[in-house]
Amino acid sequence: MAERIKTNVLVVGGGPGGYVAAIRAGQLGLDTTLVEADRLGGTCLIRGCIPSKAIINVAGEFETMRLAADNGRHGLKLASPPTVDLAETVKWKDTVVNRLNTGVTGLLKRAKVRVVNGWAKFSDAKTCDIDAATGPVTISAEHVILATGSLPVQIPSLPFGGPIISSTEALDLEDLPKKLVVVGAGYIGLELGIAFAKLGSEVTVVEAEKQILPLYDAELVAPVKRWLDKHGVTLHLGAKARTAETGKKKTALVVETADGKTIELPADKILVTVGRKPNTEGWGLENMAVDMAGRFVKVDDQCRTSMRDVWAVGDLVGEPMLEHKAATQGEMVAEIIAGAKRRFDPVAIAAVCFTEPEIVSAGFSPAEAKAKGEDAIVGQFPFAANGRALSMEAGDNGGFVRIVARRDDHRVLGIQAVGAHVSELSAEFATVLEMGAVLEDIAGTIHVHPTLSEAVHEAALKALGHAIHI
């Protein structure tokens, strides 16, 4: 006989949208149940953001050691070239993931959230069945928060399996592929492609668009393109991956190039990173009578679906598919259920590419501002004139900070940067936009020396017409 649970709040999905919603609901005194079929933490923590950044960090360390062994570096020399044991790297990556997974488990327990491990299948909007390890469970709830996340998109002619892998498998490889072909030059493909190139793989990237990182403007992308060219990463832009040959003797990706020719790219692994799709299948969404917006669940500015007291957050409800968006929505929904008046209406959501160098963007680019009919001014400051960047050899990669502001009232409309460690500037960018700051607010804020953030100050001064250090 199935165990029956009645709960105020049922959260489906233990990723950042789901576990944050559950923790906040528990903190607010709501009887809360969370259902998760996999490990707590979701894609970002278990097989996405966190493990990929761990691998990227190791790849950077290895590259620095290799340069020190080749010709010496800033007075540092290694007697012999370094070697990489990818299996050991993956083990270390897993310790980071395990630590965070344990932390999430503890936070849910402290918030008195009931966790049920298993796959939820809804029979109606407020009832689901779980075939849990301890036996069948039926849960009925007053409020349901859907946070099922997203999955890698497959190319029908390149199904995952064997040498054709997604980012999930790429982060668990125990042997470094000698030849890696990456399909898709978005942020996932380039982050991992660059990391494997640093570790010693021969990397080739195939992209259907004519530019890498198609969602960013050419000026931001140019320093990344220069790094790829300098480090021997082969790019096939405007090209289409057709199929793969995966025989016993060889593996190769068949590609139609921009000029219509067909070529074969030999590979040990073919990494397909052409986007992600909302996880809408296999858990009974069709039985919940919620409206859809294309492939996403349709929600309003409070993350309410068309079904009363059924809510949806994160990747399930649309772009941008970012952890920080999901977590913010999850927290908001829990507070609304508890009686607060909240709505999801951010001025901007900053996005980061952990490429080499990094890119961060929040708000409008110059072209986007113009398309919106804004008469904008732009202030741009190069890291080549920033002492902190030069002191860590990050000033000569073409990086910069760029501020876009309205000409008449100097309201900041967008901020972008490309350079080493600029991801750490993203919070300032988002805060400036969310608080409705003007150029004079940034110019009047004392920025610490020596830091990369001084470039933000100087970009504002440049837009005002009186930069100091250029």
469 is catalytic: no
106 token code pair: 């503890």
Q: Which two tokens stand for residue 64?
A: 């620095």
Catalytic pick from 74, 231, 324, 449?
Answer: 449
Report how far residue 455's alpha carbon sits from residue 70's, in angstroms, rounded to the nearest whole number: 33
> Any idea what the Cα angle at residue 329 is, between residues 326 and 335, rounded to 5°?
145
Within 10 angstroms of residue 375's Cβ, the number of other Cβ atoms is 9
Determine the Cα–Cα distance for residues 308 and 345; give it in Å rounded to an integer: 21
Pair 400, 417: CB distance under 8 Å: yes
DSSP label at residue 451: S
The one-character DSSP state at 448 is P
- Give the DSSP letter string of 334-364: HHHHTT-------S---EEE-SSSEEEEEE-
Give the E-state strand segments of 383-428 in sequence order.
400-406, 412-419
Contact 423, 392 (CB under 8 A): no
Distance CA 138, CA 1 (A): 10
Residue 229 tokens read as 């060219």
Label residues 322-343 b or e (16+ Cβ within 10 Å = b).
bbbbbbbbbbbbbbbbbeeebe
* Residue appearing with tokens 């000569």: 396
Alpha-helical regions (H) of 72-134: 86-110
Cα separation of 18 and 292, whole Å? Answer: 20
- The 3-state DSSP class for residue 120 equals strand
Closest CA to 9 of 343, 329, 330, 290: 330
Residue 95's Cβ-count burial label (10 Å; 0-12, 13-18, 19+) is exposed
CB 20 within 8 A of CB 327: yes
Q: What DSSP state is assigned to residue 320? A: -
CA distances (Å), origin 128, targets 138, 283, 310, 311, 342: 6, 9, 13, 15, 28
Query: Active-site residues: which are they?
Result: 449
